[in-house]
Amino acid sequence: MQRLTRRKFLYCSAGLLPVACPAQAFWPFGDKESHASGPADIRGQVFKNDAPETLWKWSREGFRYKKIKDGKVVCGICPNRCILAPGDRSVCRSRVNMNGKLYSLAYGNPCSANTDPIEKKPLYHFKPTSKAFSVATTGCNFRCLNCQNWEISQVKPHEIRHIDLFPKEAVQAAQDAGAVSIAYTYSEPTTFFEYMLDTARLAREKGLANLWISNGYINKKPLVELCKVLDGANVNLKSFSDAIYRKLNGGRLEPVLNTFKTLHELKIHFEMTNLVVPGYVDDPEMVKAMCRWILDNLGPDHPLHFLRFFPRYKLDRLPPTPVSTLVRFREIAMAEGIHYVYLGNVPNHKGNHTYCHQCGKLLIERQGYYIPTYNLTGNRCRFCNTIIPGVWPAKGDSVSKLFQNPI
């Protein structure tokens, strides 16, 4: 067993280690390299000899991986590119090397399945007031210190209660719930890629839309494959600093930016969220730089949501984000030229509403999941006839004034 040094003990006591497993699994590198990388940098930190002894009915061979020497495999789904020897488990906890093949253990076994209002995702420019059938399995390829769903994202598939819901059953459940879309959400859907892709293909055949709610940490080839059946996405741009990504989330910035470019190039509707964590992501100059990159690479029409942080997980001693900070960031983003900027986790604020970027009139008023005012005709502003980017009900279709089963 690897010796628990004083440094590692102090990191553990402070809650800075990224995964809750025995000490020898925390730091697969030597002290010098792990210290230089930062406590939340998880590249290469696979779970050694942690695969189940036998495959189970929720096991599926991985969609995209490469076999290398000595029975090892390299997962090609996300930029972590986990190298797994036989018996090893991936960083996301959902993939294992069994006898020289990569398997997903998160197929047809969601730990959460709910019907949500589309605005909860948040998606403000995609079929407002419609229902999304939301599914999630365990696992994540990040280790965010501020994770909002750590109870399911930071555990292994067998460590939490789940239900049997294979792709055909998931599509049927969505139809039975009256949903118009299936959202792959809550944890990180990239970690249950095979399940998501097969479900999305069946959903497309049945006329349901597919929504990807993600951290955007995915390689280009699997993303392009997913985009063939994808209708909308909300991707969390957690900061505009690679150093903060490594410290706060255990990932890197550039792959997420590349995801935005790919979605934009393939004309997928997407919206962006930025959780404003005090002390990490509350720098106005960073926000300006982020907005300028968005404008230069994606244009002004993809909605941007600034979300209010509340104490959670390993950052439970931080204060909530001041609303004044969010208001200032919204003003900065709009001054830079982004057309649609929203505030999240701030009920009954005007920053929840949609205004026409051309004439400034109120188009969609939101009070929670209630929409008392709707001034779009098809995809156009009712006042000046400007096209409003998004996926809207067709002209003449009714828009429900109230989500019937708010959650």
Give, for all 407 residues of the chain, the pLDDT tens digit: 333 343 333 333 333 333 333 222 222 222 222 222 333 566 668 888 888 888 888 899 999 999 999 999 999 999 999 999 999 999 999 999 999 999 999 999 999 999 999 999 999 999 999 999 999 999 999 999 999 999 999 999 999 999 999 999 999 999 999 999 999 999 999 999 999 999 999 999 999 999 999 999 999 999 999 999 999 999 999 999 999 999 999 999 999 999 999 999 999 999 999 999 999 999 999 999 999 999 999 999 999 999 999 999 999 999 999 999 999 999 999 999 999 999 999 999 999 999 999 999 999 999 988 999 999 999 999 999 999 999 999 866 666 544 433 43
> Residue 80: what pLDDT?
96
Q: Which residues pair with 133 in a beta bridge?
A: 115, 182
Angstrom distance (rounded) from CA 381 to CA 356: 7
Phi, psi (degrees; rounded to nearest 5) at 112? -145, 135
Judging by beta carbons within 10 Å of its beta carbon (0-12, 13-18, 19+), is residue 319 exposed, middle or buried? exposed
Angstrom distance (rounded) from CA 221 to CA 44: 21
> Residue 379: what pLDDT?
96
Judging by beta carbons within 10 Å of its beta carbon (0-12, 13-18, 19+), is residue 187 exposed, middle or buried? buried
> Any idea what DSSP says for residue 320?
P
Phi, psi (degrees; rounded to nearest 5) at 190? -60, -30
Find, among 157, 143, 156, 154, the residue nearest to 80 by Cα.
Answer: 143
330 close to 343: Cβ distance less than 8 angstroms: yes
Angstrom distance (rounded) from CA 99 to CA 59: 14
Residue type at 219 in one-letter notation: N
What architecture is the 112-381 domain classified under in CATH? Alpha-Beta Barrel (3.20)
Chain region(s) in the chain for CATH 3.20.20.70: 112-381
| Cβ-Cβ contacts under 8 Å for 316 (sequence gap 6 or more) | none
**β-strand pairing of 269-276 with 304-308:** parallel
> Residue 340: what pLDDT?
98
10 Å Cβ neighbour count for 20?
11
Find, among 340, 253, 323, 247, the residue nearest to 293 by Cα.
Answer: 253
> Any idea what DSSP says for residue 246?
I
| Cβ-Cβ contacts under 8 Å for 384 (sequence gap 6 or more) | 356, 358, 359, 361
Angstrom distance (rounded) from CA 191 to CA 185: 11
Find, among 395, 392, 373, 404, the residue nearest to 126 by Cα.
Answer: 392
SS3 at position 74: strand
> Residue 43: what pLDDT?
61
Residue type at 347 in one-letter notation: P
Q: Which two tokens stand for residue 309?
A: 């942080």
Q: Which two tokens stand for residue 302?
A: 């993809």
> Residue 394: what pLDDT?
80
| Cβ-Cβ contacts under 8 Å for 173 (sequence gap 6 or more) | 113, 133, 165
> Residue 50: what pLDDT?
80
pTM of the model: 0.87
Reported as half-sphere exposure (CB side, CA atoms, 13 A), residue 52 has a value of 16
